[in-house]
Structure 1
Amino acid sequence: MGYVFPKKAAGLAYKFFSEPREGKLLPNAIPDILKEAEQEVLFHEDCTIQTYTWRGNENKILLVHGWESNASRWEEFIILLKKSKCTIIALDGPGQGLSSGIEFNIPLYAKHVNTLMEKYQPQYIIGHSMGGATCLYYQYKYNNPLLQKMVLLGSPSEFELILSNYKKTISLNDKVFQLLKEKIVERFNIHPSEFSGKKFASGFNFKGLIAHDIDDTVVAFNEGKQIAEAWKSSQFIETKGLGHSLHDKELYEKIHLFLFEE
């Protein structure tokens, strides 16, 4: 199709790139950890945003999951965070969990994050994978002065690298790939080359913690390293054997220490 109908092929390529295949939840079958939370639906434009809150003290944390996931991915970490008596807030991203929509992309996700930040005003934000990239873009875009600390887990830095890997995965020819990039610029008013996590982080003056596993086969280890090197007030944790998910009690305890006991 890329050779015969390149514009149609680019449209399909964008569709496959932006529509999660997994991560949806059914209202009558949500995980137990989410049942424990106060559930509230917020609205942004024509989207509904499913939120979850575990009430605690004035210390507030927002948890931002990644691609093809939902708020339940934080279960192990939430169990630890509850011991600190902080208030924990999580959301289901666009087209995932119980939130509405079909398309998932970072600019839209950042708008949803901003909706929660304005309502709950958390001092800390934690993102995994594409959720981490969303946190970086959110702060770059909205420059929230109330944000004190950010934690990134297995987060990508360079959007052009993501696109290049996608091109290889589905064997796009150069013509269709160029049309895909033009569609992204038209859709979000930002060129893929300008969408850089390390660039966004280089302007941050609050504290950050970046964790990345050397065995991550989804997002290259060097991506996290580049963000940490650009972010002068951040620290970097290198892990091994945790893969992309980074679910680990010891790592979660280090994050807890960074947030509350540093």
Structure 2
Amino acid sequence: MGLKKGIRFITIKSIGQYINFLSYVRPQKAIALSYALFSQPREGRLLKSSLPEILQNTETETFHHNEHHFQTYIWKGNEIKILLVHGWESNASRWQKTLPHLQKSGSTIIAIDAPAHGQSSGREFNIPLYAEFINKAVEKYQPTIIIGHSLGGAACVYHQYLFPNTSINKMVILGAPSDLKTLIDNYISMLSLNTRMFSLLDRNFANRFNFKIEDFSGQKFASQFNVSGLIAHDTTDDVVAFEEGKKIASNWKNSQFIETKGLGHGMHDDELYQKVIEFLFSA
């Protein structure tokens, strides 16, 4: 373990010990701190003055939703519209390698910045809010296709569950987690949090979002889908376990699952994109 990694490891563990201590003396503060660490991205912001090149020559639109605003970027094409939904600590520029493949189809492509990412507002990322952003964009642009990566894929799945009757008829989900419980368990073990903290976090999710951690499951949501889906996940993904992708596919009636090897979490690959295009555009 290098020095930097060692210091990070010690810091993470000591934050965990502090939260565990707080869980007994000041449980509300323990919840606030542990949830903030879980939900606040440290990367992925974009400044308007220094946008990545891929986003510079696009049409942009800023949407307002309650106290939030979020950004979309549009690459104009024909009347077929594809909505792209990125993941954690990322932004709309993550689709740079994907765009040329999709643009061959002539489609209009729209990419969205998640809450607290890119040029969208806020400090906190959560999937229910992301699903609301997606829905505003879907209502406005009427895409027939939605493609989500990582937590963006999870947000697409949740959006489809909440809003089953939209313009969307095909979904592509890349390297996405199925179960919130898996994410929380990983987080708890990373910080070495005590079991008391799991029940405090569970209560926090129930109060804020009206669901228990174990009920938030892409596997459960997908069992209700009528749209057709393509789920792809890499066996070497060290961010989201391969099994998570299989879970989402397992209950989704009209779906196909693609297992890739050696692409990691990023899932950028010409051969995979070829399969995505075939799924989207061959009858």
The 2-side partners of 1:64 and 1:118 are apart by: 15
The 1-side partners of 2:170 and 2:112 are apart by: 19
**Partner SS state of residue 96, structure 2:** helix
Q: CA deviation at 1:5?
A: 2.7
Q: Say whether the 8 Å CA contact 1:7–1:176 is kept in structure 2.
A: no
Alignment of 1:177-256 (within 5 A): 177-256=198-277
**Partner SS state of residue 90, structure 1:** strand
The 2-side partners of 1:177 and 1:225 are apart by: 25
Return the index of the structure with the highest Cα Rg: 2
Aligned match of 1:22? 43
| Matched AA of 1:168 | S
Q: Say whether the 8 Å CA contact 2:164–2:225 is kept in structure 1.
A: no
Q: CA deviation at 1:171?
A: 1.3
The 2-side partners of 1:201 and 1:46 are apart by: 30
TM-score normalised per structure 1: 0.98
Aligned match of 1:144? 165
**Partner SS state of residue 226, structure 1:** helix
Which has the larger displacement, 113-122 or 30-39? 30-39
The 1-side partners of 2:232 and 2:38 are apart by: 25
1:41 aligns to 2:62 (yes or no) = yes
The 2-side partners of 1:115 and 1:145 are apart by: 11
Q: CA deviation at 1:10?
A: 1.8
Q: Specify every segment of 5 or more residues in structure 2 that has no aligned partner in the other structure, as ranges.
A: 1-17
**Partner SS state of residue 28, structure 1:** helix
| Matched AA of 1:35 | Q
Aligned match of 1:259? 280
Aligned match of 1:93? 114
Q: CA deviation at 1:35?
A: 1.0
| Matched AA of 1:155 | A
**Partner SS state of residue 11, structure 1:** helix
The 1-side partners of 2:244 and 2:51 are apart by: 33
Counterpart among 196, 200, 216 of residue 175 in structure 1: 196
**Partner SS state of residue 50, structure 2:** coil
The 2-side partners of 1:65 and 1:90 are apart by: 8
Percent identical: 56
The 1-side partners of 2:33 and 2:70 are apart by: 26
Q: Say whether the 8 Å CA contact 2:138–2:166 is kept in structure 1.
A: no
The 2-side partners of 1:80 and 1:216 are apart by: 23
Q: CA deviation at 1:144?
A: 2.7
Number of corresponding residues: 262
Q: Say whether the 8 Å CA contact 1:11–1:180 is kept in structure 2.
A: no
The 1-side partners of 2:165 and 2:74 are apart by: 21
The C-alpha deviation readout for 1:162-190, integer Å capped at 9, x for no partner, is 11111101111111221111111111111
The 1-side partners of 2:97 and 2:186 are apart by: 31
The 2-side partners of 1:43 and 1:7 are apart by: 31
**Partner SS state of residue 76, structure 1:** coil
Which has the larger displacement, 75-84 or 110-119? 75-84
Q: Say whether the 8 Å CA contact 1:63–1:127 is kept in structure 2.
A: yes
Aligned match of 1:32? 53
| Matched AA of 1:196 | S
Aligned match of 2:92? 71
**Partner SS state of residue 163, structure 1:** helix
The 2-side partners of 1:198 and 1:222 are apart by: 11
Aligned match of 2:11? none
**Partner SS state of residue 68, structure 1:** coil
Q: CA deviation at 1:149?
A: 0.3
**Partner SS state of residue 93, structure 1:** coil
The C-alpha deviation readout for 1:48-81, integer Å capped at 9, x for no partner, is 1110011111111000000000000001111221
The 2-side partners of 1:66 and 1:210 are apart by: 15
**Partner SS state of residue 83, structure 2:** strand
Q: Say whether the 8 Å CA contact 1:10–1:177 is kept in structure 2.
A: no
| Matched AA of 2:143 | P
| Matched AA of 2:167 | L
TM-score normalised per structure 2: 0.90
